[in-house]
Amino acid sequence: MNSIVEVMELILSYVVVIGSLILEMAGILILLVSAWQGFMRWTRHEEDGPQLEEGISMALEFLMCGEVLKTATASGVNDYIALGAIIILRFALALEVHWEMKKKKESLEKKDS
């Protein structure tokens, strides 16, 4: 019985590590694509809409999902403190990006009026 639990814990740790890596890689890819698109719009002197902020927000959501997934295998208080700090920082960044998006959308709507 004890060996079954050990095998299940090993499988869980592999699933968590692989899943969190996939989520974090997706977040990084989204961030890179959004940054590239924003850079290309900037070089062409196009009107900058909220696309870059939306990409950053989505990337942060994927990165936070990866961190939340890591809590499944956190074993000690230090792990929870580190993960909690990372989640709080990423959440604060997501709020700031969301606030910037809202502000930019409002200014674009005023400009169109």
Q: Which residues contact 69 (CB under 8 A, 6 or more apart)?
A: 16, 19, 20, 23
pLDDT at 49: 63
- Would you state the structure tokens that stand for residue 49, as one six-digit string? 């809409």
User: Of the candidates 102, 109, 7, which has an alpha carbon nearest to the alpha carbon of residue 50?
Assistant: 102
Counting the structural domains of the chain, the total is 1
Q: What is the mean pLDDT of residues 88-93?
A: 84
Tell me which DSSP letter residue 45 carries.
T
Q: How many CA atoms lie within 13 A of 17 on its CB side?
A: 6
pLDDT at 27: 95
- Identify the band that residue 29 occupies on the pLDDT scale cut at 50, 70 and 90: very high
Tell me which DSSP letter residue 99 carries.
H
The percentage of residues in the chain with a pLDDT greater than 70, rounded to a whole number, is: 96
Q: What is the mean pLDDT of residues 13-42?
A: 93
pLDDT at 107: 77
- Domain of 23 in residue numbering reads as 2-112
Q: What is the mean pLDDT of residues 56-63?
A: 88
Contact 27, 68 (CB under 8 A): no
Q: What is the mean pLDDT of residues 60-77?
A: 84
